[in-house]
Structure 1
Amino acid sequence: MPIDEHYWRDVIRGEREGRTADLLRGALRGLSVPYGAAMTVRRKLFAHRWPRPRAAGVPVISVGNITVGGTGKTPLVGWIASHLAGLGRRPAILTRGYRAVDGVSDEAAVLRQATGVPVVVDPSRVRGAATAVAGGADVLVMDDGFQHLWLGRDLNLVTLDALCPFGYDAVVPRGLLREPLAALRDADAFILTRCDLVESAALRAIGERLAALGCDQPVLTSAMRPVAVESLDGRSEPLASLADRGVWAFCGLGHPEAFFRMVQPLVRRVLGREVFNDHHAYSEEDMRLLQRDAHRAGADILLTTGKDAVKLTPPAAGVPLRWLRIDVELGDDNAVLAGLIAGTLAGA
C-alpha cells in the first residue's frame, strides 16, 4: 500500500515516533543507498561526456534544485524569462509537464499566464529545445533542469529552499535529496528562496555548509512576496482587502507550510486549512468539501495559490474563491543575477 505523502514527510523529518516509524526510516534508508549511488555514477558519466549532452544551438539557462518538492523555483523561472524578454530576446521556457492533467501542467499554465513567453511542455528536454528553437526562440530557460543532463546548459542555477536546503541530508526516499549533495559542485550559482521566512543566522549556516561541501559559487538570496489577490475570472484586489477577512486556506504544494506562513499576517484570521499532495488534481468532491468546511467555519473566502488556481473553475455559488499572486524579490541580488545572465548571453 502506498505511503501518504504527508505521513512520509513526517517520518523522514523525525516527527513520527514509535517502532513502526523507526522501522520505516530504516527501510527507507536501505532504499536510499543504491539510488544515491546510481545518481552519483550517472552524473560522473555525463561529466566525462559519456553520454555527450546535446547542444540546443542557442544559450540555455537551467533553473533546478537538488530536493524533491517545491523550492519556489517557478517564480524565478518566470523572472528570468521576463528579464530576457525585456532585453529584446526571444525566450522560451522548457518544462516536462510533471503530473499534467489532460495535457495541462500547473507549472506550465502559471508560467504562460505570468510571462506571456512560449512554454514548451515535453518530457524530453532535447526534443523540447528543438521545438522551441524551430519556433523562433533564441534563448531557452529550462525549468527543473539540474538533473536533466541530456541537454547542455550555459548557466546552471540551483535553488535551495532556505526552510529546508539540504533535504534532511538523505537521498530519497529516506530524505528529500534527488541526488547526493556533492552534485551541488556542478552549479554555477545558488539562489536561496524564502529567505524572508528564516533568521539571518540560518542563512549564514547555509553558506557555511555550502563552503564545507566545496562550493564557492555565488550565493544569491530571494524572497517570495505576495502582491495581489486574484479571482479566477481575472479580477484583481489589493492585498489590503484581506485584512478584515477570515479565510479558509488550501494548497497542493511540495512545501505547503511556506504558503500558510505567508497568508497568516495578511488576513484577519485563518479559520482553517487543507493540504493536498503536490500537483494535486482537484475533483468536484474536493471542492464541495472545501466549500462545506469554509462555510461551516464562517470564512469570507477560500484562498489558494496560483499553481492550484489554474486547475480550478469559479464556483457558481458559495464561499468566493481567490488566489494569492506572488512575485520573487531578489533585492540587491537583482543586479547579480542580471549580470550572470548577461555574461551567459555574451559568451554563448
Structure 2
Amino acid sequence: MKRFFARWGEGYLYHPSLLQKLLSLLLLPLSGLYCLAAYLRYRRSVPLYYGIPVVSVGNLSVGGSGKTPLVIELARHFSKPAIVLRGYGRKSRGMVVVKDRDILCDIAASGDEAMLYATSLPHAVVIVSEIRERAIAEAKAIGCDIVLLDDGYGKHTIDKLDLIIDVQTPNPF
C-alpha cells in the first residue's frame, strides 16, 4: 500500500494524469485555507536568536533541488560547522549526535542523509532532531561556529538566514 501511494505521489508531482489534475483543482480551496493558516502562523511567530549564526537551506519543490550538495559546500567554508536536520528515514527518535569528530551511531539511528553529511565532512558536527531548537543549542554547547539547517525554511521561531532553492517542475499544479 505504501509503495502504491509513493508511486501515485511521484506520478502526481512529475507527470500528473488528467484525474490528478482534476483532483488538484477540486482541492484548490483547501490549499487556500492551508496557505492562510500557514501565513497566520508565520505572522505570529517571534524568531529567537540562539547565540550562534544559523543558515537554513530550503526548497520550494519536493526532492532533487540540490539542498544536500549546497549544504556540503557551505559547510566546507567554516572551521567547525554543525549540520542539523530532521533525519528522515531513521529508526531512532529525539536528538542524536551523529558525528562529533567521530561517527557516533549507525545509519539506522541517523538516516541516510545525515550519514552522507557525516562521511562527506570530516570537520563538521552532524545532529538529527525533530526539534531543531534543541539541536541548535547542542551545537552551540559543542563549540560549533555556525549551524546549517537542512530544510529549515518553515521554522519561523528561529532567527536565521534563509537560502531558498527553486527548481522548475513539470507540474504547475
Same fold flag (TM > 0.5)? yes
1:158 is paired with a residue of what secondary structure? Answer: strand
- Contact 1:54 / 1:126 at 8 angstroms: preserved in 2? no
Partner Cα distance (1:147, 1:39) in 2: 9
Other-structure match for 2:109:
103
Alignment gaps of 5+ in structure 1 = 47-51, 169-174, 176-348
Other-structure match for 1:84:
78
Cα deviation, residue 103, structure 1: 2.2
- Contact 2:14 / 2:169 at 8 angstroms: preserved in 1? no
Over 3 Å counting, the alpha-carbon distance change for 1:65 and 1:22 in structure 2 is closer
Partner Cα distance (2:90, 2:38) in 1: 25
- Contact 2:78 / 2:145 at 8 angstroms: preserved in 1? no
Deviation track 1:196-251 (CA, whole Å, cap 9, x = no partner) reads: xxxxxxxxxxxxxxxxxxxxxxxxxxxxxxxxxxxxxxxxxxxxxxxxxxxxxxxx
Other-structure match for 1:59:
53
Cα deviation, residue 79, structure 1: 0.6
- Contact 1:97 / 1:107 at 8 angstroms: preserved in 2? yes
Cα deviation, residue 32, structure 1: 1.7
Partner Cα distance (2:151, 2:164) in 1: 9
The residue type equivalent to 2:169 in the other structure is C
Partner Cα distance (2:63, 2:6) in 1: 11
Other-structure match for 2:84:
94
**Mapping of 1:164-179 within 5 angstroms?**
164=169, 168=172, 175=173
Partner Cα distance (2:20, 2:43) in 1: 34
- Structure 1 stretches of 4+ with a deviation exceeding 4 A read none
Residue number among 122, 127, 135 corresponding to 1:128 in the alignment: 135
Aligned sequence identity (%): 34
1:45 equivalent in alignment to 2:44: yes
- Contact 1:63 / 1:145 at 8 angstroms: preserved in 2? yes
Partner Cα distance (2:159, 2:21) in 1: 41
Deviation track 1:126-183 (CA, whole Å, cap 9, x = no partner) reads: 1000111111112111111111112211x3211122x429x72xxxxxx4xxxxxxxx
Other-structure match for 1:75:
69
Q: Structure 1-normalised TM-score?
A: 0.41
- Please say which structure displays the higher CA radius of gyration: 1
Other-structure match for 1:343:
none
Over 3 Å counting, the alpha-carbon distance change for 1:105 and 1:57 in structure 2 is same
**CA-atom RMSD in angstroms:** 2.4
The residue type equivalent to 2:156 in the other structure is L
Number of positions where the alignment pairs a residue of Structure 1 with one of Structure 2: 155
Q: Structure 2-normalised TM-score?
A: 0.77
The residue type equivalent to 2:87 in the other structure is G
The higher-RCO structure (CA 8 Å, 6+ apart) is: 2
1:4 is paired with a residue of what secondary structure? Answer: helix
Over 3 Å counting, the alpha-carbon distance change for 1:108 and 1:13 in structure 2 is closer
Cα deviation, residue 12, structure 1: 5.2
Residue number among 159, 183, 187 corresponding to 2:165 in the alignment: 159
Other-structure match for 1:141:
148
1:156 is paired with a residue of what secondary structure? Answer: strand
The residue type equivalent to 2:141 in the other structure is A
Cα deviation, residue 45, structure 1: 2.1
The residue type equivalent to 1:128 in the other structure is A
- Contact 2:89 / 2:111 at 8 angstroms: preserved in 1? yes
Over 3 Å counting, the alpha-carbon distance change for 1:22 and 1:67 in structure 2 is closer
The residue type equivalent to 1:98 in the other structure is Y
1:80 is paired with a residue of what secondary structure? Answer: helix
Cα deviation, residue 107, structure 1: 1.4
The residue type equivalent to 1:136 in the other structure is G
